[in-house]
């Protein structure tokens, strides 16, 4: 995952992503923030406190609820 984050930080890749995601209101910084792996408290102040861990936890909880319901 570090390789992916480092690749996105490359100015050429970052510019390409910004052009591709610009119409959707997203940027390469949003992708980097989503892939953030550190302490949520040390995240930049202007970035949303939402990353892949939130999606993972939501998905995990949904699957558990579904499994419990099906038992």
Q: What ranges do the domains of the chain cover?
A: 2-70
As a whole number of angstroms, the distance between CA 27 and CA 47 comes to: 12
pLDDT of residue 22: 87
pLDDT of residue 61: 97
Which of 50, 57, 45 lies closest to 32, judged by CA?
50
pLDDT tens sequence across 13-63: 999 999 999 888 899 988 988 998 888 788 877 878 888 999 999 999 999
pTM of the model: 0.73
pLDDT of residue 40: 79
As a whole number of angstroms, the distance between CA 36 and CA 59 comes to: 18
DSSP 35: T
């Amino acid at each position: 995952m570090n390789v992916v984050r480092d690749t996105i930080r490359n100015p050429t890749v970052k510019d390409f992503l910004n052009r591709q995601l610009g119409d959707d209101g997203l940027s390469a910084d949003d992708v980097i923030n989503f892939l953030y792996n550190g302490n949520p408290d040390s995240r930049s102040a202007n970035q949303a406190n939402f990353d892949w861990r939130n999606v993972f936890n939501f998905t995990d909880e949904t699957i558990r609820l579904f499994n419990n319901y099906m038992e």
